[in-house]
Amino acid sequence: MGDYHFIHKDVEGASTQWDDIQRKLGNLPPKPAPFKPPAFTPAQDDASVPKDKSWIDQKNEEELEDLEDDLDLDDDSFLQEYRKKRLMEIREAAKISKFGSVNPISGSDFVREVSQAPSDVWVVVILYKEGIQECDVLMNCLQELAARYPATKFVKIISTDCIPNYPDCNLPTLLVYNNGAVKANYVGLRSFGRRCTPEGVALVLCQADPVLNDGQSGNDDGSRQSVLESVRRKIIEKVVRDHEDENDEGSLSD
């Protein structure tokens, strides 16, 4: 008759007297420590969290708006001011992320996208048609400016979708809107000088108003001056570069 071996598995963590003797003799490894679940830690109530700058930084836009009622007169006035500052920063970042290119719109979009744009947003509208070379030239300039100044909204619309029977001889036409009103209009490329360049367009747009904005300047006048200084610097650099290129070509031909 064959040998039968029965294996008895005890409750996990239990130990017999025989096992204890064998462990003392070194014949068995030490007994593993019994499993203990981690101690329960109740979730920290928001009311018990210290109200400081880092506490405000962790809040999203909706939570910051709700805090207006939650922060009572006993709270530090610094927190109330910092809440407003953070809310403004979040909204500004959201606004900037919407732009950065020349987006197409239709006639039915015009009121919502242009006339009803927020009062602190400048909107540049190009009326154009496909196949007109002058429109392509100005469009390329606007694409570059839109990327350079993402807090300014640039849109394009087919001219006759915007104004029925608008004559092609007036294309491209640029309209500048702010706070629901037309602030400027430019008909044809001749409005931007002999050569239409991004710098030339930027100079014209910002000559009277802070149309272009990169979202970094603290105020409108500062934004306008910053744009004008940057554009003038780019124009000077381009003139110097072109002059050097002409000199290099002249020396090669000698």
The C-alpha angle 228, 231, 236, rounded to 5 degrees, equals 125
Q: Which of 47-56, 75-84, 229-238 has the lowest mean pLDDT?
A: 47-56
Does position 138 have pLDDT exceeding 90, yes or no?
yes
Per-residue model confidence as pLDDT tens digits over 47-75: 555 566 777 777 776 776 776 656 554 55
pTM for the model stands at: 0.57
Cα torsion 73, 78, 83, 85 to 10°: value is 140
Q: What is the pLDDT of residue 103?
A: 95
The residues facing 155 across adjacent strands are 103, 125
- Residue 21 pLDDT grade (very low, low, confident, very high; cuts 50, 70, 90): confident
Q: What is the pLDDT of residue 7?
A: 46
Specify whether the CB–CB gap between 158 and 110 falls below 8 A. no
Residue 112 one-letter amino acid: R
